[in-house]
Structure 1
Amino acid sequence: MAIKIDNEYNNYFIGDKEVKDLLTRDGERKIEGVSNKNIDLKNLEKRIESNKFVEDADVYRGLDGNIHVQVKQNRPIARIIRPDQDVYLDVEGQILPLSDRYTARVIPITKSALLKPLNQEFFQDSVGQNYLSLLQFIENDEFWKAQLAQMHIDGKGKVSFLPQVGDHTIEFGRPGNAEQKFKKLMIFYKEVLPVMGWDKYKRVNVEFEDQIICE
């Protein structure tokens, strides 16, 4: 059996052993040595896809007669901080459990107690999709992914960030217009902070169009 796991985003939530355990139901079902005609490939795919960290699985017979398994992992883009148990949010807005095997380096999200729970339903509706789009933007931008240490959503649904470097709070406002707001923020980082110093300001607001407020 040949197993290939896609690690395009350097995620290691599932390995060869976990895939084999899913295929054999923890060793209860033999695959090695079983006649190919007695193996239900679609059923094997479903077994692998039952793992929350698997986005897609492809099981097929190769020209060599062996069973080949290709696994594409889910891609977490945020960690939702909860009083009971933290969870991951993936790029599609699905909720994933934490893993004992691997910890993803993604932005943690906290929220006001006044805001409804950040569950799967929240990120699937028209309002919540704006937050998902914002997180997708951050995940795909090398600079902001490295610089933003934490995201908070207040009771009115407004977003703020704490940076990795600097002592200021970034007041982002509603999650829309992410590209324009981050462009303004980049001006602050490139043109203001090098002149004024990284500890000069306690808050930076990019919520309003055509202005940056620094205090």
Structure 2
Amino acid sequence: MKRKAKNVLFIVGSLLLLSGLSVFAAVRQAQRPVGRVIVTIDNEFNNFFISEQQVTSLLTRNGNQRLEGAHPQDLDLRTLEQRLKTHPFVRDAQVYRDLAGNLHADVRQNRPIARLTHADARQDEYLDADGQALPLSALYSARVVPMAKLNGQPLAASFFQDSTGRRYLEFLRYIDEHPFWRAQVAEVFISANGKLIFTQQVGDQRVEFGFPENISEKFAKLMVFYRQIPPALGWDTYHRVNVEFQNQIICE
């Protein structure tokens, strides 16, 4: 019985010691000045719209607020995160300190899925997966599908915000989520009646897609065309392919 009691006391004492050490380490870490500033940018999709230098500039207000050597009580991590999120290509940001006292800034980039084109290319803008406009970047040009009205008039990002526009956004998302179509679809147009037409990177066919509905089924029909017609008759046999009608592929 005494041995069991000693074991219990030993375990309790060990737990108290560990708790005390943890509290001591936390207090010491909280009082330690900032060491290095470590910036990590998520480049999952090989986009380079924001640089490490730009992140550092946002954190330090263009160098006006020194972070290295700063005392923890002088830092507001939430404020630093909000500064990073003011950049249009920052989708999310987390700022935190590690046990060594270093300040980490982890940035997740926003990513365009289309480019809304204008007669003057300097007025072009990107569109992200939420239907929000993104500016062009001097650092990087994204290889995404261009989109405009068939008459050459530009589309505003606000077009994609209502229930009708969201259907066209779903069409663009489908292209972006499938590497084959992302590589094959060259340029997308919306006709006056709202139907979609696009050109291709390989082949001279103009694809008449119709309204943005039954999207996966229509692309599946187009894949049937690719697998059966060009290998047998050549890519230049037809110049118009229509997949808008159910269970039909019309070629001319």
* Common fold: TM-score over 0.5: yes
> Which residues in structure 2 correspond to 1:60-79 (within 5 Å)?
60-79=96-115
Structure 1 length as normaliser, TM-score?
A: 0.96
1:186 to 223, 233, 249: 223
Q: 83, 91, 96: which is aligned to 2:134?
A: 96
C-alpha displacement of 1:175: 1.1
Pairwise mapping of residues 1-215 of structure 1 onto structure 2 (< 5 A)?
Answer: 1-84=37-120, 85-113=123-151, 118-215=155-252
Identity %: 52
Q: Which runs of 5+ in 1 are unaligned?
A: none
* Larger relative helix fraction: 2
TM-score, with length taken from structure 2: 0.82
Q: Which one-letter code corresponds to 2:156 in the other structure?
A: N
Given that 2:243 and 2:250 are in contact with CA atoms closer than 8 Å, whether structure 1 keeps it comes out as yes
**8 Å Cα contact 1:114/1:155 also seen in 2:** no
Q: How far off its partner does 1:83 sit?
A: 3.1
Distance in 1 (CA, whole Å) between partners of 2:118 and 2:83 is 29
Secondary structure, aligned partner of 1:32: coil
SS of the residue corresponding to residue 163 of structure 2 reads coil
User: SS at the partner of 2:207?
Assistant: strand
Give, in angstroms, the shift of residue 119 of structure 1: 2.6
Unaligned 5+ runs, structure 2: 1-36
Structure 1 residues 43 and 109, CA gap change in structure 2 (3 angstroms): same
**Structure with bigger gyration radius:** 2
- Aligned CA RMSD, in angstroms, stands at 1.3
Q: Distance in 2 between matches of 1:5 and 1:203?
A: 44
Contact 1:14/1:101, CA 8 A, preserved across alignment: yes
Distance 1:197 1:141 in 2: 25
Once residues 28 and 118 of structure 1 are traced to their aligned partners in structure 2, the CA distance between those partners, rounded to angstroms, is: 40
Letter in 2 for 1:9: F
The Cα shift of 1:118 comes to 2.7
The count of residues paired between Structure 1 and Structure 2 equals: 214
Q: CA deviation digits over 1:55-91, x for unaligned, max 9?
A: 0000011121111111000010000002340000011
Provide, for residues 170-199 of structure 1, a one-character-per-residue CA deviation record: whole Å limited to 9, x for no partner.
000111111000000000000111111100
Q: Secondary structure at the match of 2:53?
A: helix
